[in-house]
Amino acid sequence: MTESADDSLPLLSRRDDTPFAVLLSPTAALARQAPVVSTARFRRHVLALAEQLPAGEFAINLCDSRYLFCVAFCAALLRGHTNLLPPNRAAQTLATLERRHSCYYLVDGEVVDTQLPVLDLAGFEFPDGEAPAQALDIPGDHIAAECYTSGSTGESKPIPKRWSQLARANAVNGQRMLEDGGELVFQLATVPPQHMWGLETSVMLPLHHELTMTDTRPFYPADIVAQLQRLPTPRMLVSSPIHLRALLAHDPQTPLPQLQRVLCATAPLGQALAADVEARTGARLVEIYGCSELGSMASRATSETEVWSLFPGFSMWHDEGGATLARAPHIEEVAHLGDHLELLDESHFRLAGRTEDLLNIAGKRASLAEINRVLLEFDGIVDGVVFAPPQRAEQRLAALVVFRPGVDKSALLAHFRGRIDPAFIPRPIVDVPGLPRADSGKLPKEAVLALYAGRGRQAS
Amino acid sequence: MVNQSSFEQEIAALLVEVLDLEDVRPDEIDPAAPLFGEGLGLDSIDALEVALAISQRYGVQMKAEEENTQQAFSNLQKLCEFIDSRR
């Protein structure tokens, strides 16, 4: 559906006197204010920042503090700017974004090597006190943000998100992700706000629902536990399988903080792990299925069922080649899903594995073909291939590489580091005298795996 | 072969085992070389794995909020000092 410019939707829609955010790790300026930020004070911060933003059209929003990210995100919207949300901080990723005209950076303490204007919110003097009640409307057709599917760089395609799409998805997400009854819940999230999963749950949800966000992004289990303990109840944790697994392995003797709800996404979570999370935290665990193009689109209570229930208005179907396509009620474009899905009826499905090319490592997605392209761009090699070896506990890629004389692995690693997310850098990189290419030039998968199994010694 | 203390040898072996660094030998890890980025090229998933292994084997918790944790991952020597001072 096409929005006309008159179709404005509110930036904020929640009670003014409820806590919008709890600041566990405030900047110096914010530390002089109360750590619990009401909706009205949040609005004051947004309005103050909006006045001071650089001129431009695109805000590369790198803020690590979820609160400052959200203030920056909203301030940019008020000024009619678009938030660019890079999937990683690799130099080439940022260089690609900088090619957009009229960009500037919003950071909180990070030093960026750039010629563009940089506004560092770590030093921004946010005014204290509450802004008077005021409707802040954003045109529905405004491109609020651009997300990127790929964990690797170069040709990764921006996914524009209109404000109407984010706001409408937010209403459905509220119904499916939050408890009924509208009780205020305090949320901690381990996922970055720049990724679609983090953006939808930890930035968008609080704008239109009675949910209190937290500024941090804890990583180590001990930090997750300590920060949850500092939040009032009821509490919600937004996370991913990798963080939940670490949390459970943390210290089986120590009781975990009690939670009302855990939301998990980015990679499939096992039923046993889900049941374990519920048993240890008292939470109801809801797993969400989604993609960057459409956002969250289905959920399941993983401890009880492997069947996913589509969100209202979404549809899925197979094309003639067997690929799964999906459509959201608020987005015209059809998305190609990287998963093989078994469609049970019009609103239920099962996951039946991923297609070969698409990778999902630690919640980051990338195309294997694209990573191979990055490998072959390196002029210090004669030939090479990156592949996903089967049966490795923590999924990592591996590479077989034929180096030019005098070139070693460290130069190739430096090449990768500037271009792709560390999660996708192959390990090990095996130095081989040649690749088992067929006469056609094709590289049979079995031969690659056999060579890899012998770690570079040509299989007989 | 670089010069490692016996505890550095132990932790180097743990890193190689936990992270599946099959193209690195424990005795090749320079105690002063960075673990992340340009050194061993470890990333944040690795940090999580290492933190778990250290808490399980030595009962030492890594917490990002403590300044020392950031330093602990700077190199093998600092990581060993961090664990040794807390176990």
DSSP string, A338-349: SEEEEEEETTEE
Q: CB of B61 within 8 Å of any CB in chain A?
A: yes
Query: What is the pLDDT of chain A when averaged over all its residues?
Result: 88
B65 located within any domain: yes
What pLDDT does A169 receive? 96
The verdict on whether omega for the bond into residue B26 sits within 30 degrees of 0, i.e. cis, is no
Do the domain assignments include residue B77? Answer: yes
E strands within A196-294? 211-214, 235-239, 261-264, 284-291
Query: Across A248-262, A283-297, A348-362, B42-56, which has the greatest mean pLDDT?
Result: A283-297
Residue B12 lies in a domain: yes
Q: How confident is the model at residue A114 (pLDDT cuts 50, 70, 90)?
A: very high
User: In this structure, are residues A215 and A23 in contact, taking their beta carbons and an 8 Å threshold?
Assistant: yes
Q: In whole angstroms, what is the distance from residue A399 CA to residue A402 CA?
A: 10
Domains within chain A, CATH numbers bracketed:
8-354 (3.40.50.12780), 367-453 (3.30.300.30)
Does A142 have pLDDT greater than 90?
A: yes
* pLDDT tens digit sequence for A17-69: 999 999 999 999 999 999 999 999 999 999 999 999 999 999 999 999 999 99
Q: Which residues pair with A291 in a beta bridge?
A: A295
User: CA nearest A368: which of A404, A360, A400?
Assistant: A360
Across the range B31-40, mean pLDDT stands at: 78
Pick from A315, A313, A312, A333: nearest CA to A324: A315
Q: Please count the residue pairs, one from chain A and one from chain B, whose beta carbons lie less than 8 angstroms apart.
A: 71
- State percent of chain A over pLDDT 90: 58
Q: Which residues of B touch A222 (CB under 8 A)?
A: 55, 61-63
What range defines the domain where residue B45 resides? 6-86
Is residue A280 pLDDT above 70, yes or no?
yes
**Minimal Cα distance from A425: which residue of B?**
B41
Provide the domain count of chain B.
1
CA A169 – CA B53 distance, rounded (Å): 40
Task: Concatenate the DSSP letters of all residues of A7-61 into one string.
Answer: -EEES--S-TTSEEEE-SS--HHHHTS-SEEEHHHHHHHHHHHHHHPPSSSEEEE
Asked whether B45 and B52 are in contact (CB, 8 A), the reply is no
Residue B1 lies in a domain: no
B75 in any annotated domain: yes
Return the pLDDT at A283: 96
Angle, CA A147 vertex, CA A143 and CA A148 arms, to 5°: 140
Q: Is residue A166 scored above 90 in pLDDT?
A: yes
What's the confidence (pLDDT) of residue B48?
84
CA distance A2 to A125: 39
Question: How much is the pLDDT for B1?
Answer: 64
Residue B21 inside a domain? The answer is yes
What was the pLDDT predicted at A219? Answer: 85
DSSP bridge pairs for A137? A10
How far, in Å, CA of A94 to CA of A85, rounded?
A: 10
Residue B43 has pLDDT above 80, yes or no: no
Q: Which of A124-128, A175-179, B38-42, B45-49 has the lowest mean pLDDT?
A: B38-42
Classify A261 as helix, strand or coil. Answer: strand
Question: Is B52 inside a domain boundary?
Answer: yes
pLDDT in tens, A198-246: 999 999 999 999 999 999 999 889 999 999 999 999 999 999 888 898 8
Encode pLDDT of A295-339 as tens digits.
999 999 999 999 999 999 999 999 988 888 999 998 888 998 877
- Residue A286 contacts residue A299 (beta carbons within 8 Å): yes
Which one is predicted more confidently, A32 or A389?
Answer: A32
Whether B56 contacts chain A with CB within 8 A: yes
pLDDT at A182: 72
- Residue A399's CB: how many other CB atoms inside 10 A? 24
Has residue A275 got a pLDDT over 50? yes
The torsion angles phi and psi of A96, rounded to 5 degrees, stand at -65, -45
Residue A3: pLDDT band by 50, 70, 90 thresholds?
A: very low
Asked whether the predicted pLDDT for residue A154 surpasses 50, the reply is: no
- What pLDDT does residue B40 have? 66
Q: In what order do the strands lie in the sheet with A429-431?
A: A381-387, A398-403, A429-431
Q: How far is A392 from chain B (nearest CA, A)?
A: 9
- The answer to whether the CB of A347 falls within 8 A of the CB of A310 is yes
Percent of chain B residues topping a pLDDT of 70: 91
Q: Is the ipTM of this complex over 0.85?
A: no
User: Tokens in use for A50?
Assistant: 């909006």
Option in A222, A414, A430 nearest B61 (CB): A222
CATH of the domain at B57: 1.10.1200.10
What are the CA-CA distances from residue A53 to residues A96, A105, A107, A276 (Å)? Answer: 22, 10, 12, 46
CA distance linking residue A90 with residue A88, whole number of Å: 6
Lowest mean per-residue pLDDT among A64-78, A97-111, B44-58: B44-58
**Predicted pLDDT at A151:** 47
Rounded-to-integer distance, Cα B71 and Cα B73, Å: 5
User: Cα distance from B23 to chain A (closest Cα, Å)?
Assistant: 6
* Interchain proximity B64–A219, CB inside 8 Å: yes
Rounded Cα gap, residues A419 and A433, in angstroms: 26
Stretch B4-12: mean pLDDT: 93
Alpha-carbon gap, residue A91 to A105, rounded angstroms: 14
B67 touches chain A (CB under 8 A): no
B-chain residues near A243 (CB < 8 A): 48
On whether residue B22 sits in a domain, the answer given is yes
pLDDT over 70 (residue A161)? yes
